[in-house]
Chain A
Amino acid sequence: MKLANRLRKYRFEHNEITQQDLANEVGVTRLTIHSIETGKFNPSTLLVLKIARFFKAKVEDIFYLTNKERKKK
């Protein structure tokens, strides 16, 4: 099981907000947002909630669990 996200899609739908602007809004570095988007880093609950609040969306709409092997098939 792996944590995946639709962060890039949400950014695109919100006036194509940049990684830097999103990072400024939720109080992390640009590289942290980049790492979350690319699946290199699993964010904390606090950060996940901040991101969801910023996009006015439910956490599970942005973040979801995925089975990597199943996806490959």
Chain B
Amino acid sequence: MKKLENLLKYTTVFLGFVSSVFFVINYFILSRLRPKMIRFEVVSQAEENLMNIVGVGLLLFLAFCLLSLLWIVRYLKRARKVNLFSVVLIIAGVLSLLFVFSDVALLNDIGKQYKHGLAQPEWLILYPIMAFQFMTGLILTFSHLFGLKEKDKVKHVAKDSNIFLIVQYVGVVCGLMGLSLSSLGFLFPRAWSLNIHTTISSTVLLMPYALAVSYWLFTKLQEKDRQWYDEKQMQDVGKSAFLTLLLTVFFMILLFVLNYNNLGGVISITWLPLYLFSALFLFSLGNLYFN
């Protein structure tokens, strides 16, 4: 078990360093392509092929984020408590993971707009996102090496509370991101192929939460005396569920009233993700509040 943990740790650290190097390489590749694409100059086949390197870098970073989050969650399972630093690490990790998909989408859009001779404002979003991912990658890598100490762990935890809390933090982040992205449809109703974007982005945004819940389920299945929630958690979940029911009903009525004259418009597609992500956000936030 110790060997497996070490293997996981050093694979994660290795991937962290490699993906950080790739971010630097990607920065130079994109800086070379950007001026040409903005001025609609011809991009050679060789230069176009450089995008494969960018793709490899992003794939490695995706693997790093997944392993990194898994490693942090495994560590926190037996940590004395979930401190602010761990929460920040988890939130930054989840955001960076989600941003890999937005990197791909933005690069795709930039490519398409270049081919059609259109402006590419996406560059302005791409660079800050990649800078954030690069910084998060470095912080996560160094945290694995020096930040998460064995002495802060307890020997045995019969009933988990830390993974439960982490699931709620991930739920808050995914819920907020989902709400923001689904609301974008109202701002740009014509620029979106709404059906596809809404479906894909909702699926991607639910992925970290689904992974966190799966890991929580996995730890529950490993418990000897299995009980999904202890009595305090059960009470908190009950209160949060009631609050979520009340607020989502109010939210959905408000959406209905605001869109009453255009029920066949954007709302006909976004109502489901808006409902799902508001429920996820409120339920997770409620659990954290009552805890």
Show the binding face of A for B, using Cβ within 8 Å.
18, 20, 23-24, 27-32, 35, 41, 43-44, 47
Is B230 within 8 A of A20, CB to CB? no
Is A20 within 8 A of B80, CB to CB? yes
Q: How far is the CA of A59 from the CA of B245 in the complex (A)?
A: 37
- B141-171 vs A: 1/0 string, CB under 8 Å? 0000000000000101111110010000000
Q: Which residues of B contact A43 (CB under 8 A)?
A: 231
Main secondary structure, interface of B, reads loop
Q: How far is the CA of A47 from the CA of B234 in the complex (A)?
A: 14
Is B233 within 8 A of A29, CB to CB? yes
Is B161 within 8 A of A30, CB to CB? yes
Is B231 within 8 A of A47, CB to CB? yes
Show the binding face of B for A, using Cβ within 8 Å.
80-81, 154, 156-161, 164, 225, 227, 230-233, 235, 291
Q: Which residues of B contact A32 (CB under 8 A)?
A: 161, 230-233
Is B154 within 8 A of A20, CB to CB? yes
In the complex, how many angstroms separate the beta carbon of B181 from the nearest chain A beta carbon?
A: 32
Is A27 within 8 A of B158, CB to CB? yes
Is B154 within 8 A of A28, CB to CB? no
Is A29 within 8 A of B235, CB to CB? no
In the complex, how many angstroms separate the beta carbon of B2 from the nearest chain A beta carbon?
A: 22
In the complex, how many angstroms separate the beta carbon of A30 from the nearest chain B beta carbon?
A: 6
Neighbour of A29 across the interface among B156, B225, B230, CB < 8 A? B230
Q: How far is the CA of A51 from the CA of B94 in the complex (A)?
A: 39
Q: Which residues of B contact A29 (CB under 8 A)?
A: 159-161, 164, 230, 232-233
Q: How far is the CA of A44 from the CA of B235 in the complex (A)?
A: 11
Is A28 within 8 A of B80, CB to CB? no
Is B158 within 8 A of A44, CB to CB? no
Q: How far is the CA of A28 from the CA of B225 in the complex (A)?
A: 11
Q: How far is the CA of A41 from the CA of B239 in the complex (A)?
A: 13
